[in-house]
């Protein structure tokens, strides 16, 4: 394999002179800051937010580095994973020229972001067991294929993608392989961050929106080689993570123990739902899950979706999605919420 980052990059990105913010140019402590046109008097809040935040989010990266075992220089922080996704298109894919491969059914933003950026999307649907169709993927790759998106554990099917298959793609594709590990904390499979040193074409994405319980803060992460992270840094909006979010995330990252407790509890509840749901008359199949949700095949997906809504329980109707026909995607809730779900489903007249 011959991976060459420079040849993958768009010409305009190679030539780009990045925005240089006031805080990029000056490092250290000064007495008077008159460089960034901030409001020097203060903020209309008890705590002041009148200064621009750290553009490189160093404190967050240091803590993440310790937790994930990845150098801070190999971490990019985005305004949600969605920003990490969009920036990869902007860096590597020429609109109307390049293409990317996705493996449906999968997370919808890879496609939406491709459409926003006017990038051709090629689809290699998963096999019936929700694993990669490597032979089909191979036929789709050409010299204009820049990215392959793999979601593991996959949304909405919940399964992890076989590690050996992901490595097969990494070993045989000269473009960038993005592995979205949004649900990795709930998985029995290990993270691919441990393979970053082996694969210069690997980008691993994670998020604080799931196991970490911080979806409202919007914080996504991409782990990759320093060269790829430098590309991210070159094109990102200068202050993409607010000061308030940086402060809260730095605090949250001290509480790994609490997060591990929540993960344990959610996995326990997932197992309970995996046992209890198949006992119900409405349920035809519960697919195995490595995530905090279950794909559940039911007798009348639309009818049950609407019935649950009428009972003030919102789930996701995936019945029109390829390979998910007749299925609902149900997030694992608290024990009480899961009881309410099971009770409501029990009462549904088939
Ligand atoms: C696979 C996957 N990736 C990314 C995201 C979004 O993550 P974020 O909240 O960090 O934008 C989701 C959200 O549902 C997801 O399912």
pLDDT along the chain (350 residues), means of 10: 91 96 81 95 96 96 98 98 98 98 98 98 98 98 98 98 98 98 97 98 98 98 98 97 98 98 98 98 98 98 97 97 97 98 94
Give the pLDDT confidence score for residue 77 in this predicted structure. 98
Sheet bearing 75-78, strands edge to edge: 75-78, 220-223, 202-207, 176-180, 145-151, 99-102, 120-123
Task: Count the residues in the chain.
Answer: 350
Task: Report CA(185)–ligand 1 centroid distance (Å).
Answer: 13
- CB within 6 Å of ligand 1 — which residues? 80-82, 107, 151, 155, 180, 182, 207, 209, 215, 220
Rounded Cα–Cα distance for residues 100 and 93 (Å) = 8
Pocket test of ligand 1: the residue of 86, 154, 209 to mutate, having most ligand atoms within 8 Å of its CB, is 209
Pocket test of ligand 1: the residue of 149, 207, 217 to mutate, having most ligand atoms within 8 Å of its CB, is 207
Residues 61, 249 contacting (CB under 8 angstroms): no
Closest approach atom of ligand 1 to CA 151: 1
Give the pLDDT confidence score for residue 1 in this predicted structure. 58
Closest approach atom of ligand 1 to CA 208: 10
Residue 64: count other Cβ atoms within 10 Å of its Cβ.
22
Residues 177, 202 contacting (CB under 8 angstroms): yes
Give the pLDDT confidence score for residue 290 in this predicted structure. 98
Rounded Cα–Cα distance for residues 239 and 61 (Å) = 15
Residue 283, token pair as written in the block? 């349920």
In 3D, which of 124, 190, 201 has the Cα closest to residue 163?
190
Task: Report CA(79)–ligand 1 centroid distance (Å).
Answer: 11
């Amino acid at each position: 394999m011959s991976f060459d980052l420079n040849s993958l990059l768009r010409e305009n990105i190679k030539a780009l002179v990045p925005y240089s913010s006031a805080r990029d140019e000056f490092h250290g402590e000064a007495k008077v800051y008159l460089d960034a046109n901030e409001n020097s008097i203060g903020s209309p809040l008890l705590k002041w937010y009148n200064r621009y935040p750290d553009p490189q989010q160093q404190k967050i990266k240091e803590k993440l580095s310790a937790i994930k075992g990845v150098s801070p220089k190999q971490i990019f922080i985005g305004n949600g994973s969605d920003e990490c996704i969009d920036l990869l298109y902007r860096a590597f894919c020429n609109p109307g020229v390049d293409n990317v491969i996705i493996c449906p059914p999968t997370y919808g933003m890879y496609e939406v972001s491709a459409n926003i950026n006017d990038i051709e999307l090629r689809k290699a649907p998963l096999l019936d067991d929700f694993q990669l169709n490597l032979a089909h993927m191979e036929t789709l790759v050409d010299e204009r294929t820049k990215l392959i998106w793999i979601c593991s554990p996959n949304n909405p099917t919940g399964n992890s993608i076989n590690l050996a298959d992901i490595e097969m793609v990494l070993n045989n594709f000269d473009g960038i392989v993005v592995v979205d590990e949004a649900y990795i904390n709930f998985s029995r499979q290990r993270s691919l961050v441990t393979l970053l040193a082996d694969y210069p074409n690997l980008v691993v994405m994670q998020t604080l929106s799931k196991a970490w319980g911080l979806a409202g803060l919007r914080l996504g992460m991409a782990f990759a080689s320093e060269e790829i992270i430098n590309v991210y840094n070159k094109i990102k909006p200068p202050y993409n993570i607010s000061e308030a979010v940086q402060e809260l995330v730095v605090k949250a990252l001290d509480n790994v123990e609490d997060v591990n407790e929540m993960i344990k509890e959610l996995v326990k509840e997932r197992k309970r739902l995996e046992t209890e749901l198949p006992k119900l008359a409405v349920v035809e199949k519960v697919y195995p899950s490595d995530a905090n949700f279950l794909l559940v095949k039911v007798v009348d997906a639309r009818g049950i979706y609407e019935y649950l809504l009428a009972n003030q329980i919102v789930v996701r109707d995936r019945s029109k999605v390829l390979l998910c026909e007749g299925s609902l995607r149900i997030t694992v809730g608290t024990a009480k919420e899961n009881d309410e779900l099971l009770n409501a489903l029990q009462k549904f007249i088939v």
